[in-house]
Amino acid sequence: MIEASYCASKGAVTSLTRQVALDYAKHRIHVNAICPGYTRTAIFEDTTAHMTPLEVLEERHPFGGPGVPSDIAKMAVVLASEDASWVTGVNLPVDGGYTAR
């Protein structure tokens, strides 16, 4: 049942992001969510062997494997900058195209 609760929580974040963005838009407060894909972190390295083997992930992934933490951080910087002044209510996948396949 971990899969069902995980999916429900992701759906809740998506809906919450959109609603809070609408609630605070009149104050020009931006609300967005970064939805990271497979990212090489300590927890990724610890759990990959139990989940999807890295070789399988590399075969399935459009960019050939997981990203690195700086890939996610760069998007956070963009969303916090003036370059994103007209962006709110977005659930932004930062996953190297994994969810697009």
CB-CB contact of 63 with 101 (8 Å): no
Type and span of the H or E element at 11: helix 2-24
Half-sphere exposure of 55 (CA within 13 A, CB side): 0
Nearest by Cα to 36 from 101, 96, 90, 78: 96
pTM of the model: 0.83
State the CATH number of the domain containing residue 21.
3.40.50.720
| Cα–Cα dist 29/40, whole Å | 31
pLDDT category, 47, cuts 50, 70, 90?
A: low
Average pLDDT score over the chain: 90
- 38 annotated active-site: no
pLDDT category, 36, cuts 50, 70, 90?
A: very high
> Which of 6, 24, 38, 98 does the annotation list as catalytic?
6
CB-CB contact of 6 with 62 (8 Å): no
Q: How many structural domains comprise the chain?
A: 1
Structural domain for 44, as ranges: 2-100
Is the pLDDT assigned to residue 1 strictly greater than 70?
no
